[in-house]
Structure 1
Amino acid sequence: MADSNFIDYVKFCSRSGAGGSGSVHFRREKHVPKGGPDGGDGGRGGNIILRGNAQHWTLLHLKYKKHVIAEAGKGGEGGRRKGADGKDIILEVPLGTVAKDAETMEVRCEITEDGQEVVLTRGGRGGLGNDHFKSATNQAPHYAQPGEEGIEEWIILELKLLADVGLVGFPNAGKSTLLSSISAAKPEIGDYPFTTLVPNLGVVGYRDDKSFVMADIPGIIEGAAEGRGLGIRFLRHIERNSILLFMVPADADNIKKEYEILLNELKKYNPELLDKNRLLAISKADMLDEELMTEMKKELPENVPTLFISSVSQYNLDKLKDMIWQEINS
């Protein structure tokens, strides 16, 4: 899918339907000259509803919906007939979508399951017909309730990818190459910064027909949390990953320092990300011999499981999948 087709942020005006007015009506039949009030209630205004759909992975289909407007409810009628409810508008969104109030940035809801439905903007209630207002002292009320107004508000939808493993690393760390080597995903690969401009998801097959989902997040650079490079646009996708696989290439000037810079960027963006289980893969290890690997191990960061890998030669990729599976299920 083309890079421009990955949309993970949309803003639109959500307007629910107004409720229908209650009816002022009196029963009139040939032999019942004073039948009393029988005005029906107005119908409910249409809601704006979000529904999770596992077949969607982007918000592209909502990109050009600047206004989403639901139907108003119909007015009540005589004979205590209730007006028809306004038709609801259902917006299908990918799993991992977060809805926020555009003014306060308050999180309204999160869609995480297929088929999950949440009323985003509730329609106005229908007004009561004059039948509800009769009493011993007022047996012929000539008034009814108007319908409640609908709600108009600006909503932001943000997508945070749902994946078991998130790949974290500087541009050119080999993340896309790894994803293409162990899954059916086909991300763009090139030897220049920011080859990956959108997150890519891949399903990685494991033993006994098991599998897990890996997300290739566009490369982070130092200062990303302050908006440098691709900024924080893609850091939110890391929030929903079960574990984080840090990748540093074997030809880096200082592997430990690069790892700490990546860790610091995540900490500045959201300190809770440091609570996730972490693994470190030293990529492009096909250019190293056993003696050099042994020397480099002395300089690697402590307290994080580390493995030398090569996506090109498939070196240690099965062992990497074992480590990931163990961390996911620990």
Structure 2
Amino acid sequence: MTEGNFVDYIKLYVASGNGGKGSAHLHREKYVAKGGPDGGDGGRGGHVIVRGNKNLWTLFHLKFKKHVRAGHGEHGSKSRSTGADGEDAIIEVPLGTVVRDTETNKVLFEITEDGEEKILAKGGKGGLGNWHFKSSTNQTPRYAQPGLPMEEKDVTLELKVLADVGLVGFPNAGKSTLLSVITSAKPKIADYEFTTLKPNLGIVEYRDFKTFVMADIPGIIEGAAEGKGLGHYFLRHIERNSILLFLIPADAKDIKEQYDILLDELRRYNPEMLDKDRLVAISKSDMLDAELKAEMKAELDKTLPVPFLFISSVAQQGLTELKDVLWKLLNANENAPKSSSK
């Protein structure tokens, strides 16, 4: 799925390098007519390596690169000279990238740390030179090993956005507006469904210069787990968020029902997502007077199984309280071992 320079899905053909041939050279020089075998080993073929880069946020730099090939190993030569190894091909990816085998759809590995390296296609081993095969019964072997062939495969790279807080809600629930107010991000905002067609990341500034990352994910519709609407293109981005912030507008017909539908879509896509901390923010609450807000609170206290609070991005109401609650949730697991060890 792409919009502008944001690319989170790429298919590549990758090929490592062939190993170089071992040399079958026999040593010859003046006054040494029969010097014996001195053929060197072939060099290793280059690997195709995937490396994490914390400065990348998208796979856009790979959009027009359909083939990645590593260098071949050099052949061995006389005087037991080993051939040079083939040049490795490095594919730099943002953190949160999942690499799959395109043919089987099997996950090969995930990159989650800066500088983390995984070999995607191994270079062929270089062949041994003929001097390795010298023996008392075969003092002049005239053969050497060929190098091992390269590996090649078709792979798919998928980016799952890494963020502390993921915004979950129906289209036009006010997620982009909240992100634009609470962070310095500038997402596209308009009064129609699916304004957001790509995840937007923003850094929330908290007290004492502390920060955390919030992601605005494209809106969920019923059936998203089956691929309706934007389907899996955005649901995978929620998998890596520590906290799920459900945003439901105050003018929704039934807030509890909307929450249940959103939660069910997440459960059907990946049941493990229900293990994450959850919080409901009722947006556009500046439309409510004090009496109506009190009535809604009394009703939701009985029906909503998770903490909730009222906010208004436009009127900037409840945003400080929201940041306080999110910060406490983010640091709850970190503080738990300390308190339990006392």
Distance 1:303 1:100 in 2: 37
TM-score between both structures, scaled by the size of structure 1? 0.98
Aligned match of 1:156: 156
Distance 1:269 1:298 in 2: 32
* Matched residue SS, 1:245: strand
Distance 1:32 1:278 in 2: 82
Deviations 1:134-160 (A, max 9, x none): 111111111100000001100110000
The AA in structure 1 aligned to 2:33 is P
Query: Pairwise mapping of residues 31-70 of structure 1 onto structure 2 (< 5 A)?
Result: 31-70=31-70
The AA in structure 1 aligned to 2:135 is S
Of 215-224 and 110-119, deviating more is 110-119
Distance 2:71 2:208 in 1: 51
Q: 1:312 aligns with which of 287, 311, 314?
A: 314
Distance 1:87 1:241 in 2: 37
Deviations 1:100-141 (A, max 9, x none): 111122211111111111111111000000011111111111
* Matched residue SS, 1:274: helix
On the 8 A contact 2:225/2:231 being kept in 1, the answer is yes
Distance 2:145 2:326 in 1: 62
- Pairwise CA distance, 1:310: 0.3
On the 8 A contact 2:51/2:116 being kept in 1, the answer is yes
TM-score between both structures, scaled by the size of structure 2? 0.95
Distance 1:295 1:98 in 2: 46
- Pairwise CA distance, 1:3: 2.5
* Matched residue SS, 2:17: coil
Distance 1:286 1:212 in 2: 26
- Pairwise CA distance, 1:4: 2.8
Distance 2:298 2:158 in 1: 42
Structure 1: runs of 5 or more not aligned: none
Aligned match of 2:91: 91
Distance 1:125 1:190 in 2: 57
Distance 1:261 1:75 in 2: 63
- Pairwise CA distance, 1:31: 2.2
Aligned match of 2:82: 82
Aligned match of 2:142: 142
Distance 2:154 2:331 in 1: 40
On the 8 A contact 2:39/2:131 being kept in 1, the answer is yes
Q: 1:325 aligns with which of 319, 327, 330?
A: 327
Aligned match of 1:288: 288
Aligned match of 2:234: 234
- Pairwise CA distance, 1:299: 3.1
What is the root-mean-square deviation in Å for CA atoms of aligned residues?
A: 1.0
Distance 2:80 2:109 in 1: 37
Distance 1:322 1:129 in 2: 67
Distance 2:305 2:258 in 1: 16
Structure 2: runs of 5 or more not aligned: 333-342
The reply on whether 1:166 has 2:171 as its aligned counterpart is no
On the 8 A contact 2:256/2:304 being kept in 1, the answer is no
Query: Pairwise mapping of residues 199-238 of structure 1 onto structure 2 (< 5 A)?
Result: 199-238=199-238
- Pairwise CA distance, 1:303: 2.5
Of 103-112 and 169-178, deviating more is 103-112
The AA in structure 2 aligned to 1:256 is K
* Matched residue SS, 2:232: coil
On the 8 A contact 1:256/1:299 being kept in 2, the answer is no
- Pairwise CA distance, 1:302: 2.7
The reply on whether 1:258 has 2:251 as its aligned counterpart is no
On the 8 A contact 2:124/2:148 being kept in 1, the answer is yes
Deviations 1:257-315 (A, max 9, x none): 00000000000000000000000000000000111111112332433110000001110
Of 30-39 and 40-49, deviating more is 30-39
Runs of 4+ in 1 over 2 A off after TM superposition: 298-303
* Matched residue SS, 1:166: strand
